[in-house]
Amino acid sequence: GGFMADQEQLLRLRSGVKEWNQWRDNNPSAIIDLTYASLSRANLDYVNLSDADLSHANLEAAEVWEANLSGANLSGASLNEASIVNTDLSRANLTGASIMLAFLQGVYLAKADLNGADLTGAILTQANLSEADLSYADLVQTNLSHANLNDATLVGADLTEANLTSADLTGANLDGCIIFGISAWDVRLDGAIQTNLRITSDFEPEITVDNLEVAQFLYLMLHNEKIRAVLETITSKVVLILGRFSDERKPVLDALRAALREHPNQYVPVLFDFDLPAGRHILETVGLLAGLARFVIADITDPSMIRVELREIAPRLPSVPIQPLLLDSAAPMAEFPLYEDYPWVLPLYRYKDLPQLLAALNDVIAPAEQRIRMRLLR
């Protein structure tokens, strides 16, 4: 298409949605080239622009939401570097669309479907995305400052280095988001689901937490010694759960985390998954997280799991009780005599199955809390 839209297609589109959609139905294999097209002030609700190339197109509205694409089908379309300011795209289908570096300030995307869309580097300041579906969307370096994301679904979205300053995420679902390097000052999170937020980049072992503010704070802690020094004076509620979270182990650790979160003591559980071989850097990270923790729970059921790591970590943390857990059906552990060497490594707690472990949660954490009390008395 060079630098110009297909003029014939552009005229056809301007002549009305009904005729256009009919033509698309009759010519399903036609390649739609609307690059650099100017469609500002067009009324295109429910238009079929699936798989169309609208890169660099201008869909701006001078007055708010004057250009109308509500309910439009833009699935698989390319809107890279398009200008879509103030446009009404409510209920539009943008699944799998490529919207990289597009300018979408103030755009109205309420109830729009952006599942799997690529919005890398797009500007969505003051956009309305209430009840929009952004599941698994690529929001790397996307600017969502002052955006309305009420009740939006962001499950599994990649928010690496995204800007969410002053965004409203009331009731939003952020389960499983990657939030490494996110900027989230002054964010509203009332009623938001914030489980399994990943605070590490692709090149580090996965560390997940359950709260956006805790996430930012933990990340600062891991990278800022002064803040750590201040915090050593604050009694900690963090409980570090160590494990290798294979598919069969993960439900146990997730349930344990939920139970700790709902415990009267209001613990702040942090999961550390040893899915990578533990080099020096990883052991230091774990040592640091463990040093912040009130106590550590280590599930050592997986035989290849964290026994080496625990042997490394335990000697450095005389003030942090470590409670090893072992599923009864697992092989006996003759080669784990750590608690004989280090009194703060508590006797192994064997559990029969998940319901029994959760029912006995207070018995599991009692030795650790007892040890903390004794230390405070000394």
Contact 306, 300 (CB under 8 A): yes
SS3 156: coil
SS3 204: coil
pLDDT category of residue 1 using cuts at 50, 70 and 90: very low
Does 243 or 23 have the greater pLDDT score? 23
Q: Which two tokens stand for residue 335?
A: 């080669």
pLDDT at 338: 63
Q: Name the DSSP class of 253.
A: H
Residue 121 in this model has a pLDDT that exceeds 70: yes
Taking the C-alpha atoms of residue 36 and residue 33, their distance in angstroms, rounded to an integer, is 9
pLDDT category of residue 76 using cuts at 50, 70 and 90: very high
The neighbouring-strand residues paired with 53 are 33, 78
| 199-208, 269-278, 365-374: the lowest-pLDDT one | 269-278
pLDDT at 143: 98
Q: Which two tokens stand for residue 139?
A: 């929001």
Max Cα-Cα span within the chain: 86
Question: What is the percentage of the chain residues whose pLDDT exceeds 70?
Answer: 89
Taking the C-alpha atoms of residue 43 and residue 21, their distance in angstroms, rounded to an integer, is 14
Does 78 or 41 have the greater pLDDT score? 78
pLDDT at 103: 97
Q: What's the half-sphere exposure (Cβ side, CA atoms, 13 Å) at 311?
A: 7
Q: Are strands 207-209 and 238-243 parallel, antiparallel or unpaired?
A: unpaired
Taking the C-alpha atoms of residue 95 and residue 88, their distance in angstroms, rounded to an integer, is 17
Does 220 or 368 have the greater pLDDT score? 368
Query: Which residues are within 8 A (CB) of 320 and not within 5 positions of it... i.e. 6 or more apart?
Result: 290, 291, 293, 294, 295, 296, 344
pLDDT at 64: 53
Q: pLDDT for 205-221, tens place per residue?
A: 888 999 888 888 787 77
Give the Cβ contact number of residue 235 at 10 Å.
Answer: 7
Does 5 or 95 have the greater pLDDT score? 95
Q: pLDDT for 124-162, tens place per residue?
A: 999 999 999 999 999 999 999 999 999 999 999 999 999
Over the chain, what is the mean pLDDT?
A: 88
Q: pLDDT for 9-68, tens place per residue?
A: 999 998 899 999 999 999 999 999 999 998 887 889 999 999 999 999 998 875 554 678
Average pLDDT of the residues in 305-317: 73
Residue 6 in this model has a pLDDT that exceeds 80: yes
pLDDT at 300: 83
pLDDT at 336: 58
SS3 128: strand
Contact 55, 35 (CB under 8 A): yes
pTM: 0.76
pLDDT at 219: 79
What proportions of the chain, in percent to the nearest 5, are helix, strand and coil?
25, 15, 55
Cα separations in angstroms, 35 against 2, 62, 65, 317:
8, 20, 21, 61
Does 213 or 370 have the greater pLDDT score? 370
H helix intervals, 159-279? 212-223, 225-231, 250-262
Give the Cβ contact number of residue 113 at 10 Å.
Answer: 22
